[in-house]
Amino acid sequence: MSDLAIELCHVSLTRRGVPILADVSLELARDEYLAVLGPNGGGKTTLLKVMLGLVRPDSGTVRILGREPEQARGQVGYVPQHVRFDLDFPIRVLDVVRMGRLAAREPFRRFRGEDDAAAHAALERVEMSPLAGRPIGALSGGQRQRVLIARALAMEPRILLMDEPMASLDERIGRNLWELLEELSQQLAIVLVSHDIGAISHYVRSVACLNVSLHGHPARELSAEAIEAAYGCPIELLAHGHPHRVLAPHGSDPS
């Protein structure tokens, strides 16, 4: 039984002749809290999909909780970046969040009261309880984002993968969510990816840069060289003297 939440070993992936991931290796402890930064097209979303077993790499190995990604299904929560479903679909917020409970319920078993309770609790955590009965199409982008986060939380996962989770959240909700993630990170491994260096909170415990290849082994310190290598240009670090903080703590505008 591996002590690692995520193990990627020399993972490479090419699509239509274009390299998406090149020789990416990564080890993540079960209580790690990692932010992966990188420019658009840097392979961040693909990296998450490889971890989820939704995309198979051309070479390299992937182990999630010591097993194949497909066998770890249901233990890995996922918050996608884009809404890939039909906003006209006849479904209410609570039903969307309850999808997270599929991980806990066997097929041929209907949802029970405890699933409803877990879904409500997850909605509570993202301050969406009052809108539990709303159709999903009647929400704003930020509200929808919170529903997707609640859906992942309802899975009660051991690993949480989030793709630009703060992108459409306002400052207050965003700050509350950072605090929620900080709390959750005591019990589970979290990986979040973002193109926006400024969007990464000081709560994050380690940072890596991804632009097809991974720059700087995940570490609590992120060097200017690693960021420059990933983005292809120098980027001013906001908090000199605090190498593990790429953003000054609180008070500054996260956008």
Partner 1 sequence: MEALALPFFQRVVLAGLLASVACGVVGSYVVAKRISTLAGGISNASFGGVGLGYWLGFSPMLGAAGFALLASLAIGVGWRRLGSGIDTMTSMVWALGMALGILFASLAPGYSPDLMSFLFGSLLFVPWEYVAVVAMLDVAILWAVWLLGKEFQAVTFDDEFAEVAGVPVERTFLFLLALTALAVVTLIRVVGVILAIALLTIPSMIGRHWSDSLGGMMAIAVPTCAACVLAGLFGSWALAEAGLSLPPGPLVIVIAAAGHALSALARRAQGSSAP
Which residue from 63, 146, 151, 245 is in contact with partner 1, where contact means CB under 8 A?
151
We find the least distance from the C-beta atom of residue 243 to partner 1, in angstroms, to be 34
Calpha distance 60→169 (Å, rounded): 36
We find the least distance from the C-beta atom of residue 111 to partner 1, in angstroms, to be 6
Q: Which residues inside 157-216 make contact with partner 1, applying CB under 8 A?
A: none
Which residue from 98, 125, 144, 205 is in contact with partner 1, where contact means CB under 8 A?
98
What letter represents residue 57's amino acid?
P
Kindly provide the residue ranges of all beta strands, DSSP E only, lying in the chain, ordered along the sequence. 4-15, 18-29, 33-37, 59-64, 76-79, 159-163, 189-194, 206-211, 213-219
Nearest to 155 by CA among 198, 197, 178, 184: 184
We find the least distance from the C-beta atom of residue 108 to partner 1, in angstroms, to be 5
Which residue from 99, 180, 184, 224 is in contact with partner 1, where contact means CB under 8 A?
99
- Between the CA of residue 251 and those of 1, 85, 172, 198, 247, what are the distances in Å? 43, 35, 11, 12, 10
Given the complex with partner 1, which of 84 and 172 has the nearer CB atom?
A: 84
- Please work out the total of residues on this chain that contact partner 1, with binding judged by CB under 8 A: 30
Binding mask 50-89 for partner 1 (x = CB under 8 A): --x-x------------------xx-xxx-x---xxx--x
Cα dihedral value 116, 173, 148, 84, nearest 10? 150
Q: Which residues inside 116-135 make contact with partner 1, applying CB under 8 A?
A: 135
103 touches partner 1 (CB under 8 A): yes
Reduce the DSSP state of residue 129 to 3 states and report it.
helix
Binding mask 16-55 for partner 1 (x = CB under 8 A): ------------------------------------x-x-
Reduce the DSSP state of residue 198 to 3 states and report it.
helix
Question: Which distant-in-sequence residues (6+ apart) come within 8 Å of 70 by Cβ?
Answer: 53
Calpha distance 255→252 (Å, rounded): 9
Question: Which residue ranges make up the site for partner 1 (CB under 8 A)?
Answer: 52, 54, 73-74, 76-78, 80, 84-86, 89-92, 95-96, 98-100, 102-103, 105, 107-108, 110-111, 135, 151, 155
